Amino acid sequence: MLKTFSLPRHVAALVLLTLAVAANAAAQTTRGDEPPYSDSDAPSASRSRTAATRAASDHPSDILRAARRVYVEPNRHIDAEYLEYKLAKLPEFTQWRLTIVKDKDKADLVVSISKKALNYIFQIVEPASSVVAVTGKVVAINGLVAAEDISHEIVKKMRQVRALPSFEQE
């Protein structure tokens, strides 16, 4: 008599996924009519951020590393100019060569802020892909304190994925 057993759903899904990946890899290696991949077909690895590189890298850490221009969205909870001032004052901001822009269409990153009670919640979004790169929260009594805390929190989160330029590290 044949015994049957059942696997949990997540194990069965993992087995099916593994089989599909293996079958796809085997199909790609057995294609004889296509030329092999060439590194010359890959986009150049330049520091400039173009529409092609934006579309190619939608991972939040890649977005944060490649960004150069930051726009702070005006809102009623925090004075945008004060937050811009606090960001620009931090040494990492200038070492990473980030700049504040006043035109949202020219920004690589958009900082937006909302408030619930004493919680100031911020998001950093890449406008081209609408990918949320960073979210965070600070607790503050007013908008001035919140702006300073948010600026430090933004730099802290960006520091996790961005290194200082080699000539700045000691």
Residue 68 lies in a domain: yes
Residue 22 lies in a domain: no
Domain with 111 in it: 58-159
Residue 155 lies in a domain: yes
Q: What is the mean pLDDT of the chain?
A: 77
pLDDT band with cut points at 50, 70 and 90 for residue 38? very low
CATH number (domain holding residue 66): 3.30.160
What pLDDT, on the 0 to 100 scale, is given for residue 58? 81
Q: Global pTM? A: 0.63
Residue 153 lies in a domain: yes
Residue 116 lies in a domain: yes
Residue 15 lies in a domain: no
pLDDT band with cut points at 50, 70 and 90 for residue 32? very low
More confident residue, 8 or 47: 8
Instruction: Domain count for the chain, please give it.
Output: 1
Could you report the per-residue pLDDT of 72-114, keeping only the tens digit for each?
Answer: 999 999 999 999 999 999 999 889 999 999 999 999 999 999 9
Residue 169 lies in a domain: no
What pLDDT, on the 0 to 100 scale, is given for residue 162? 82
pLDDT band with cut points at 50, 70 and 90 for residue 54? very low
Listed residue (26, 37, 64) closest to 158, CA to CA? 64
Residue 131 lies in a domain: yes
Bridge partner list, 110: 71, 125
Tokens 């620009």 found at: 88
Pairing status of strand 119-126 against strand 131-139: antiparallel
CA angle (163 as vertex; 158, 165 as ends), nearest 5: 130
Q: Mean per-residue pLDDT for 138-154?
A: 95
